[in-house]
Amino acid sequence: MNLAIIKYNAGNIQSVLNALERLGAPATVTDDAEALRRADKVIFPGVGEASTAMASLRANGLDGVLRELQQPVLGICVGMQLLCTHSEEADTEALGIIPVNVRRFPAGAPGEKVPQVGWNTIHDLRSPLFKGLPEESYVYNVHSYYAEDSAYTIARCHYILDYAAAVQKGNFYGVQFHTEKSAATGDRILQNFLDL
Ligand SMILES: NC(=O)CC[C@H](N)C(=O)O
């Protein structure tokens, strides 16, 4: 399988690569439009601030390339947030591929600090992306912003409020949590994505 990871100015590319290597699925990290179009699957990772990540995509013309991809695409963390319409983080106009807004967590109870950092469970799993995983599977999170629940939600999570842990529209999938840091559950989700 020809697997591409979008190269732009955002973190966690190396840890996604390592996770894929564990699964025996080596990937190419590239910002070349033709290579991205030709790939069987594309992973859009991300750790960082939404407006900076979006600016980096635009500077390389990758926003247009991304919107037109036809094969399965998986956005992770900021990658997922940028597939959406808008993020409250620095009032960022995102790619608008999945019509969902990304908002900042309100202040929570004393035990619920923002950002959410650590393990939490996901539920209402309804996508082949979660094949073989039980409800309340644990995944690893680091974020202050979340995608609002909508008709595009394919998994939910509760932290301060209910939000979309994963979204999908057509060939575009996004997960808020870090598959590459979610141990066996994360590996299973990545493998399921490769199997789509
Ligand atoms: N881990 C991250 O990169 C966080 C992504 C985004 N800035 C958020 O806080 O939601």
Per residue in 66-89, is it b (16+ CB within 10 Å) or e — as a string? beebeebbbbbbbbbbbbbebbbb
Q: Give residue 45's pLDDT band: very low, low, confident or very high (50, 70, 90).
A: very high
The answer to whether 138 and 91 are in contact (CB under 8 A) is no
- Could you give the percent of the chain with pLDDT greater than 70? 100
pLDDT of 69 higher than 90? yes
> Mean pLDDT over residues 178-191, rounded?
96
Q: How far is the CA of 78 from the centre of ligand 1 (A)?
A: 6
Atom of ligand 1 nearest to the CA of 46: 3
Dihedral angle of Cα 42, 164, 83, 49, to the nearest 10 degrees: -100
Q: Is the dihedral of CA 49, 55, 56, 58 positive or negative?
A: positive
CA distance 115 to 189: 23
Mutational pocket test of ligand 1: of 15, 47, 102, 117, the residue with most ligand atoms within 8 Å of the beta carbon = 47
Match 């959406």 to its residue by tokens.
84
Atom of ligand 1 nearest to the CA of 146: 10
Q: How many CB atoms lie within 10 A of CB 184?
A: 10
pLDDT of 169 higher than 80? yes
pLDDT of 11 higher than 80? no
Q: How far is the CA of 97 from the centre of ligand 1 (A)?
A: 19
Tokens standing for residue 96: 């608008």
Q: How far is the CA of 47 from the centre of ligand 1 (A)?
A: 6
Q: How many CB atoms lie within 10 A of CB 113?
A: 15
Residue type, 153: T
Q: How far is the CA of 157 from the centre of ligand 1 (A)?
A: 16
CA distance 127 to 113: 30
The answer to whether 187 and 19 are in contact (CB under 8 A) is yes
Nearest CA to ligand 1 atom 3: 47
Given this model, what pLDDT does residue 136 score?
A: 98
Q: Which pTM was predicted?
A: 0.97
Q: What is the pLDDT of residues 138-156, one digit of tens each?
A: 999 999 999 999 999 999 9
Predicted ipTM beyond 0.85: yes
pLDDT of 55 higher than 80? yes
Q: Mean pLDDT for the chain?
A: 96
Given this model, what pLDDT does residue 111 score?
A: 84
Tokens standing for residue 147: 């995608």
Tokens standing for residue 116: 């959410």
Residue type, 105: F
Given this model, what pLDDT does residue 17 score?
A: 93
Given this model, what pLDDT does residue 71 score?
A: 98
Domains of the chain with CATH codes? 3-195 (3.40.50.880)
What 3-state DSSP class applies to 110? coil
Q: Give residue 46's pLDDT band: very low, low, confident or very high (50, 70, 90).
A: confident
Nearest CA to ligand 1 atom 4: 143
Ligand 1, pocket residues at CB < 6 Å: 47-50, 77-78, 89, 115, 142-145
Q: How many CB atoms lie within 10 A of CB 1?
A: 10
Given this model, what pLDDT does residue 53 score?
A: 95
CA distance 73 to 194: 10
> Mean pLDDT over residues 64-86, rounded?
98
pLDDT of 108 higher than 90? no
> Mean pLDDT over residues 106-118, rounded?
91
